[in-house]
């Protein structure tokens, strides 16, 4: 558990944890506002975004791809609103129309363009490559203080750290308007808040978190972390402050335990190869939610009879 751990596992775990936190924080409000599936839609449309970015710039540049993905997320949100308003279609179906079509477009572009030379495929988009984000320069815990080794950190780590900090800052700064507009939109409007702007900012923040996390861990964790930790936390308490703390705790727990189970679990069971860390993190978050749904103190709807 010395140098090898720092080199192979420390960075993926850190990235997993940060990605989980960055998604779980806005996820709390999305779940409460019944917009949880926005995360699902965004993470699907990230694919056409990065493919277009690749075709335009001609290289696998992470910043260009993130810009492309963010652009695709904005296009998707606008398309959903357009279909919903102009076609007078219920939001769920509008979302289903928009993100499946955009995803299909992304797959078609990918198959049409010559991306065989670069690491860009649908599988990668879906389950990321957390395991490959190793810190080659690290030799041991001491490397954490060594500037030369620190310079060799995978660029995904600082990026997701910045985004995680941004979501934290966003949540803290907009805490009051977010809380009021989530629970009582009418009251928020009476107070003079621009509730539609608050809602839009939340979706944009979620999109940024999704895109950054997607870059490092693939879209499946993104959806799982948007929904499972906040949903489990929702069953633990009736106070939003406490719920957010629980959701962060669940997210960190899922990321760490999921990664460890994926990397070391098969070895303990006598296997040789690690299994997908992204998949395992999602699985663990699901188990957390299942346990919360069975035993958490506030799992029932308030006011419902105890054994309904």
Q: Which string of x and - marks every residue 38-57 that binds another protein (by CB under 8 A)? A: -xx---x-------------
Q: Which string of x and - marks every residue 249-278 that binds another protein (by CB under 8 A)? A: -------------x---x----xxxxxx-x
Q: Does the footprint of another protein cover residue 4 (CB under 8 A)?
A: no
Q: How far is the CB of 183 from another protein (least distance, A)?
A: 14
Q: Does the footprint of another protein cover residue 76 (CB under 8 A)?
A: no
For residues 80 and 93, what is the distance between their CA atoms, to the nearest angstrom?
Answer: 9
User: In 3D, which of 6, 24, 100 has the Cα closest to residue 255?
Assistant: 24
Q: How far is the CB of 194 from another protein (least distance, A)?
A: 24
For residues 239 and 63, what is the distance between their CA atoms, to the nearest angstrom?
Answer: 38
User: In 3D, which of 96, 37, 48 has the Cα closest to residue 73?
Assistant: 48
Pick one of 270, 302, 305, 306: the residue that binds another protein (CB under 8 A).
Answer: 302
Pick one of 224, 236, 244, 251: the residue that binds another protein (CB under 8 A).
Answer: 224
Q: What share of the chain is helix, strand, coil (3-state, %, to 5)?
A: 75, 0, 25
Q: Which string of x and - marks every residue 89-108 that binds another protein (by CB under 8 A)? A: xx-xxxxxx--xx-xxx-xx
Asked whether the CA dihedral 267, 270, 271, 277 is positive or negative, the reply is negative
Q: Does the footprint of another protein cover residue 119 (CB under 8 A)?
A: no
Rg of the chain's alpha carbons, rounded to an integer? 20
Q: What single-letter DSSP state applies at residue 301?
A: P
Q: How far is the CB of 201 from another protein (least distance, A)?
A: 20
For residues 287 and 293, what is the distance between their CA atoms, to the nearest angstrom?
Answer: 10
Residue 272: Cβ within 10 Å count:
6
User: In 3D, which of 69, 71, 77 has the Cα closest to residue 38?
Assistant: 77
Q: Which stretch binds another protein (CB under 8 A): 30-38, 52-60, 162-170, 174-182?
A: 30-38
161, containing H or E segment: helix 156-173
Q: Does the footprint of another protein cover residue 286 (CB under 8 A)?
A: yes
Residues 123-152 that bind another protein (CB under 8 A): 123, 126-127
Q: Which stretch binds another protein (CB under 8 A): 33-41, 53-61, 62-70, 135-143?
A: 33-41
Residue 232: Cβ within 10 Å count:
30
Backbone dihedral angles phi then psi of residue 193, each to the nearest 5 degrees: -80, 145
Q: Which is nearer to another protein, 36 or 245 (CB)?
A: 36
Pick one of 45, 220, 236, 240: the residue that binds another protein (CB under 8 A).
Answer: 220
Q: Which is nearer to another protein, 67 or 126 (CB)?
A: 126
Q: Which is nearer to another protein, 39 or 68 (CB)?
A: 39
End-to-end CA distance of the chain: 49
Helices vs strands, H then E, count in the chain:
14, 0
Contact positions toward another protein, by CB under 8 A? Answer: 31, 34-37, 39-40, 44, 83, 86-90, 92-97, 100-101, 103-105, 107-108, 111-112, 122-123, 126-127, 220-221, 223-224, 226-228, 230-231, 234-235, 262, 266, 271-276, 278-283, 285-286, 289, 293, 298-302, 304
């Amino acid at each position: 558990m010395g140098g090898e751990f720092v080199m192979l596992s420390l960075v993926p775990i850190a990235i997993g944890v940060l990605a989980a936190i960055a998604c779980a924080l806005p996820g709390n409000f999305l779940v409460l506002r019944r917009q949880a599936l926005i995360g699902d839609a965004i993470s699907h449309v990230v694919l056409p975004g990065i493919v277009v970015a690749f075709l335009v710039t001609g290289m696998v540049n992470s910043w260009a791809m993130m810009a492309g993905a963010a652009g695709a997320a904005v296009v998707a949100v606008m398309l959903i609103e357009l279909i919903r308003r102009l076609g007078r279609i219920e939001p769920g179906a509008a979302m289903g129309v928009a993100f499946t079509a955009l995803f299909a477009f992304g797959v078609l572009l990918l198959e049409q363009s010559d991306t065989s030379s670069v690491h860009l495929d649908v599988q990668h988009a879906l389950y990321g490559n957390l395991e490959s984000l190793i810190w080659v320069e690290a030799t041991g815990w001491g490397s954490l203080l060594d500037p030369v080794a620190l310079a060799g950190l995978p660029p995904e780590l600082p990026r997701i750290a910045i985004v995680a900090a941004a979501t934290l800052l966003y949540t803290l700064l907009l805490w009051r308007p977010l809380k009021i507009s989530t629970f009582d939109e009418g009251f928020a409007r009476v107070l003079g808040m621009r509730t539609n702007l608050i809602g839009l900012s939340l979706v944009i923040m979620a999109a940024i978190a999704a895109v950054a996390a997607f870059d490092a861990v693939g879209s499946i964790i993104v959806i799982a972390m948007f929904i499972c930790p906040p949903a489990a936390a929702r069953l633990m308490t009736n106070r939003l402050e406490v719920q957010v703390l629980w959701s962060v705790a669940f997210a960190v727990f899922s990321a760490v335990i999921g990664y460890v189970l994926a990397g070391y679990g098969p070895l303990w069971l006598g296997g040789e190869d690690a299994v997908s860390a992204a998949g395992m993190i999602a699985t663990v978050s699901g188990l957390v939610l299942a346990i919360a749904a069975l035993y958490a103190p506030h799992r029932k709807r308030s006011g419902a009879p105890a054994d309904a």
